[in-house]
Structure 1
Amino acid sequence: MTLAHQIAVVLVTTAAPNPQPNEATAGQAADTHSTTGDIVAALGPTGMLVVLAMAAFVLYVVSLSLHPNAKCNRCKGAGRHRGALFSYAQRPCNSCKGRGVHPRLGRKVLFKQP
């Protein structure tokens, strides 16, 4: 037999799907399709809590990659510290070294970057 002949035999002998299933197969077909409600029921409350926690963690990691730095709280992001007695006198902020930003805590913990 040639390859074309074998393919033709397989295509002819393969049963085509029935467009109008009878009642016996209709119940089976309904069970094969899972909806969101079925998935939630199968996971239960603890499983859904785990799924939501994982989704929140993924969103936090994406947020860290997009915005890795936070504004310095001491200098309010200015990078300069004003004197208390002479307000016109300025110096670089000791906390952020004059940059005005700090790396976020998640960036330090997850990515081990300064």
Structure 2
Amino acid sequence: MSLAHHIAVVLNTTAGPNPQPDQVTASGQTANQAVETNSTAADIASSLGPMGVFLLLLMAAFFLYVVSLSLHPNAKCNRCKGAGRHHGGIFSYAQRPCTSCKGRGVHPRIGRRILFKSP
């Protein structure tokens, strides 16, 4: 909202007696309320302040992270690089299941383990 609009609102509220009838005043107040409810993102941000905007962005990022966890709950195992098997160091043809991921090739993501308590 512009500075001129704020000044006009302050002058209207601090003015003396109003010679208009009550019905006109009531309809005028509802029109002013309708104008003030149509606020932009900049008005909302200025009313929240910098800390409020930061918290709002933090909550949005957390929400997106939870959605990401629900869409992609697992991450590739780093020890076997997603193969699920280890090859021998000396005899490279020898294989065994990965002990870290138990041969699955994937691990649950850390956020999934913390937030959803899955094994």
TM range (shorter): 0.7 to 0.9
Matched residue, 2:82: 77
Q: TM-score, normalization: structure 2?
A: 0.71
Unaligned runs of 5+ in 1: 1-14, 16-23
Cα distance between partner residues in 1 of 2:65 and 2:36: 36
Structure 1 runs, 4 residues or longer, greater than 3 Å off: none
- Residues of 2 paired with 1:48 and 1:87: CA distance? 56
Query: Percent identity, aligned pairs only?
Result: 69
- Match of residue 58, structure 1, among 54, 63, 72: 63
In structure 1, how many angstroms separate the alpha carbons of the residues matched to 2:97 and 2:105? 9
Unaligned runs of 5+ in 2: 1-22
CA 1:112–1:86 in 2, change beyond 3 Å: closer, same or farther? same
SS at match of 2:64: helix
Aligned to 1:37: 42
RMSD over aligned Cα atoms: 2.0
The aligned residue for residue 108 of structure 2 is 103
